[in-house]
Amino acid sequence: MNKILTIAHLTILSVLRKKDVYILFIISVAVLIIICSLNVMGLAGIAAYVKDIGLLFTWLFSIILATSVASNTLQEEEKSGTIYSLLAKPINRKQLICGKWIGVFSVAVAVTFVFYMIVFLLVFLKGGSFPIYSLVQAMILHFGVIGIVIGYSLLFSTRLNSDAATIISYVMTATCFLIIPKIPQLIASPATTKFSSFIFTALYNILPHFEILDLRQRLVHDFAAIPTGIFVISILYSLFFTVLFLLLAWLGYRNKFFSRSDRY
């Protein structure tokens, strides 16, 4: 466990040394404040409008951050050659994958929490508020989505270069958010063939359903918190997919051959 935490610590330091993270954060906060200040259709003074825009930006920022960092972290070790010293500690590849996930997850969660607090402050300044228990539930399930995203971003990065892994991770995220919830409607459409229906059904049952972990609309409309039992099941659901993707990442990485010539 100490080896995993050491890798996580080194990963956190590596991420914090990058200027890209700070630039992305500053730009996102600036854009969020500007948009929330615009008087779009007279909605600038409505707290629900600020909530909706603020939470949307929070999700977008967290997904971009988690994907970009997770898709590059293993590749950076390989390109710099530090992968050889890491695996010579000795640290096995399972510990390396777990440590990388913990490190990236810790940074992404910490920055996302700060972003939530900024949105909370903006909403407060507009005279609104969040139901606290619902907000806690929404953040925890949001962190669950971040964990899953980091998991499959690491998975793709074990077999692909960083650019390809990043692109496929974004496509995966877009599919889970935009297509998976619509699949029942697509299957019911008369224009859908049997083969397409089979593919849609497979995707629906295999890929994670982020919509069940997204409680933004409950916060926007001040709905009550979801029942504790459903909340716990949702956490276990996110943990299941996170562990599954990390297991697949380890299986894809455990026999990977490293050549020093690959660095050039």
Q: pLDDT, tens digit, for every residue of 234-250? A: 999 999 999 999 999 98
Alpha-carbon distance of 42 to 193, in angstroms, equals 46
pLDDT in tens, 164-188: 999 999 999 999 998 999 888 888 8
Of 115, 114, 130, 123, nearest to 36 by C-alpha is 123
Q: Give this prediction's pTM.
A: 0.88
Which DSSP helix (H) or strand (E) runs through 2? Answer: helix 2-16
Mean pLDDT of the residues in the chain: 84
Residue 192 DSSP SS3: coil
pLDDT value of position 8: 86
- 44-53, 89-98, 131-140 — which is least confidently predicted? 44-53
Question: Considering all CA atoms of the chain, what is the largest pairwise distance in Å, rounded to the nearest integer?
Answer: 61
**Average pLDDT for 105-111:** 93
Alpha-carbon distance of 11 to 72, in angstroms, equals 11
pLDDT confidence bin for 38, thresholds 50/70/90: low
Which residues, including other chains, have CB under 8 Å from residue 72's CB and lie 6 or more apart?
Answer: 157, 162, 166
Alpha-carbon distance of 21 to 17, in angstroms, equals 9
Decide: residue 232, CB within 10 A, 0-12 exposed, 13-18 middle, 19+ buried.
Answer: exposed
- 48-62, 73-87, 202-216 — which is least confidently predicted? 73-87
Residue 89 DSSP SS3: coil
Of 137, 163, 124, 150, nearest to 246 by C-alpha is 150
pLDDT value of position 228: 92
Cβ 221 vs Cβ 196: under 8 Å: no
Cβ 142 vs Cβ 59: under 8 Å: yes
Domain segments of the chain as ranges: 2-263
